[in-house]
Amino acid sequence: MMARWALWPVVVVLSVLAVVATAVAGGSSPLRTAVVVWFLLTGPGLAITPLLRLSDRWGEWTVAVALSVAIDILVASAFLYAGAWSPPAIFSTLAAVSLVGAALQLRVGWWLA
């Protein structure tokens, strides 16, 4: 069984890959919408929340969703304010934040366990 600290980085990486795969496939479908909404609601938050070492699983999910929405808003607002609105660039930034957070979890997770 996978250690608890190693589970969330895998979920984050798979979420990023799923969004990339649906974007490359093109078109619009309910599956693509569900994958993107899942990533926007959980990706950035799940990459950072486990580093907070919360003991409550429900509290961890609540913070992850709230943090994801906050990061989504900050990134989109920054692009809008800069006059550089670009959904692919916004996704790339959110994916980078998520992947860096996942890498940090893997880097520090083994000694926090």
Burial of 99 (0-12, 13-18, 19+ CB in 10 A): middle
Residue with tokens 């950072």: 48
Q: How confident is the model at residue 1 (pLDDT cuts 50, 70, 90)?
A: very low
pLDDT in tens, 44-81: 999 999 888 888 889 989 999 999 999 999 999 999 99
